[in-house]
Amino acid sequence: MTNNNIIIFDTTLRDGEQSPGASLDINEKVQIARQLALLNVDVIEAGFPVSSPGDFESVSRIAREIRGISVAGLARAVEKDIDSAARALEKAEKPRIHVFLATSEIHRKYKLLKAKEEIVHLAVKGVAHALKYVDDVEFSTEDASRTEPDFLIQVVEAVIDAGAKTVNIPDTVGYATPDQYASIIRGLKENVKNIDKAIISVHCHNDLGLAVANSLAAIKAGAQQVECTINGIGERAGNAALEEIVMAIKTRHDFYQRSTRIVTKELIATSRLVSTLTGLRVQRNKAIVGENAFAHQSGVHQDGVIKERTTYEIMKPEDVGYLKTKLVLGKLSGRNAFKTRIKELGYELSEKEFERAFEEFKHIADKKKEVFDEDIEAIIGIEKMEVPHIFQLESLSISCGPTTVPTAGVRLKLQDGRLVDNTTIGDGPIDALFKAVDLSTGIPGKLQDYNIRAVTSGKDAMGEVYVNVEVDGKTIGGRAVSTDIIEASAKAYLNAINKVAAMKQK
């Protein structure tokens, strides 16, 4: 840990789970904890052990399984809470007990019914009790942003004297503004005599939409730890979003002069896992991890990105886990984007053919929000263009089920009449099928996109399969129709491979 390194304290499994409708079972919490370990967060706040038997067990399991990362359990400044957290963290490699107590006048008067002197006494007592179990104790002054500055200084100084290694200054109800919050952090650094003995942490809520801005302002003012959640989930309007804070620090290193240990390429995978397991969908225009975060539809923007990515992108999509920039083709798209996509699909058009296709593309785009690859192939008449049958599907077989290893076998007929048979296993039947085709053709492809849609209605509907397959750095489209989706998948994949093989022959 260097002075320039910001500690990322992830509270997705504690504060994030408090989002209405986001309850997680034990196995789901452990699954997310494993992904957070891959993301390389510094601290995982695994839960609030005293709150329920389930939360106690999930903290215990995470403490047993996660190595190399601090695992924290939350506790009020009450002995039974601290005892429960200590038991849950017994097997942790790096246990931390996170003790909290409200300090603001409104909480003292209406929730706790206690005077300032009692608050200081309880805070110190809570830290001292936690230190009987672990060396790493964090203390949170709940509702710090609405606490009188002199009293906040008094409490922080007292808990550091008592042995707290981290003092957290939460904006519990999202009330602060960036300048105000930064001034609170600077005030603590300037006026708490023993502040050099502890890490200053910040924990911001998003009630006014300022959680990330407040957190970054605090970092600039000297905070060394940020408490945040994946996708910004949490109570009410949520918490500061981990992915936004991390990428702001990375992208604007020139301004913040700070860094993190986060493996940013795991951000998309982590975001999607949390979204799937909590059922809380990520809005399309969400920064960093939203579906539109690296998508461009304006023709001017698309043209700029094609010529030089940095014209309209300040981050590389690959850095956060996306495969590449997404150019969404629609009525605002220009010639350059349309021409680029045609080339990516593996086709060459004369200038005259391109102009006719572009005119038809604009006509269709006026009727549809988004023009897909299959629409483009229809526009350029791919159904009428002969795709050489270098490889033909003669037969296939699939074996799969809950207790069966997915296996697929294919028989292909080559141009010279020879038959090739291969059988492989995969993560699922389609994965196994495509691997068998790769083995039989000798042209390994990387599946980039796979879509199925019904062409007709009814249980015997015709199914249309579209695939995008990357071969040697180029993405080629394939399409096929059948009442058997497995067969359509194999033929669509072969359709793309045949295009590649034809280009190789030429």
Whether 363 has a binding-site annotation, put simply, is no
Predicted pLDDT of residue 460:
53
205 annotated to bind ligand? yes
121 annotated to bind ligand = no
Q: Which of 221, 222, 213 is nearest to 241 (CA)?
A: 213
Residue with tokens 């096929």: 480
Q: How far is CA 459 from CA 357, 483, 484, 489, 502, in A?
A: 35, 9, 11, 18, 36
Which of 175, 179, 256 shows the shortest CA–CA distance to 211?
A: 175
Q: Identify which of 223, 211, 220 has the alpha carbon closest to the alpha carbon of residue 255.
A: 220
417: left (phi > 0), else alpha (psi -120 to 50), else beta? Answer: left
The low-confidence residues of the chain, meaning pLDDT below 50, are: 1, 383-384
Torsion of CA 418, 423, 428, 431, to 10 degrees: -40
Residue with structure tokens 């200053």? 200
Q: What is the pLDDT of residue 206?
A: 98
Angle between the N-to-C axes of helices 178-191 and 149-162, in degrees from 0 to 180, rounded to the nearest 10: 50
Summarised one tens digit per residue, pLDDT across range 32-56 is 999 999 999 999 999 999 999 999 9
Say which amino acid occupies 474.
K
pLDDT of residue 341: 82
Chain-wide mean pLDDT for the chain?
A: 91
> Checking phi first, is residue 21 left (phi over 0); if not, alpha (psi -120 to 50) or beta?
left
Q: Give me the torsion for CA of 154, 202, 199, 103, rounded to 10°.
A: 20
How much is the pTM? 0.73
- Angle between the N-to-C axes of helices 26-39 and 53-65, in degrees from 0 to 180, rounded to the nearest 10: 40
Query: CB neighbours of 50 closer than 8 A, spacing ≥ 6?
Result: 56, 75, 76, 80, 81, 84, 85
**CB–CB of 481/464 below 8 Å?**
yes
Beta strands in 67-185 (DSSP E): 70-76, 95-102, 137-142, 166-171
pLDDT at 381: 62
Q: What is the DSSP letter of 112?
A: I
Q: How many residues does the chain have?
A: 506
Helix (H) or strand (E) holding 451: strand 446-454
The 3-class secondary structure across 97-111, one letter per residue, is EEEEEECCHHHHHHH
Nearest residue to 358 via CA among 344, 337, 372: 337
Tokens for 33?
A: 């904890």
Q: Got the DSSP string for 341-353?
A: HHHHTT----HHH
C-alpha to C-alpha distances, 162 to 101, 125, 196, 270, nearest whole angstrom: 15, 8, 14, 37
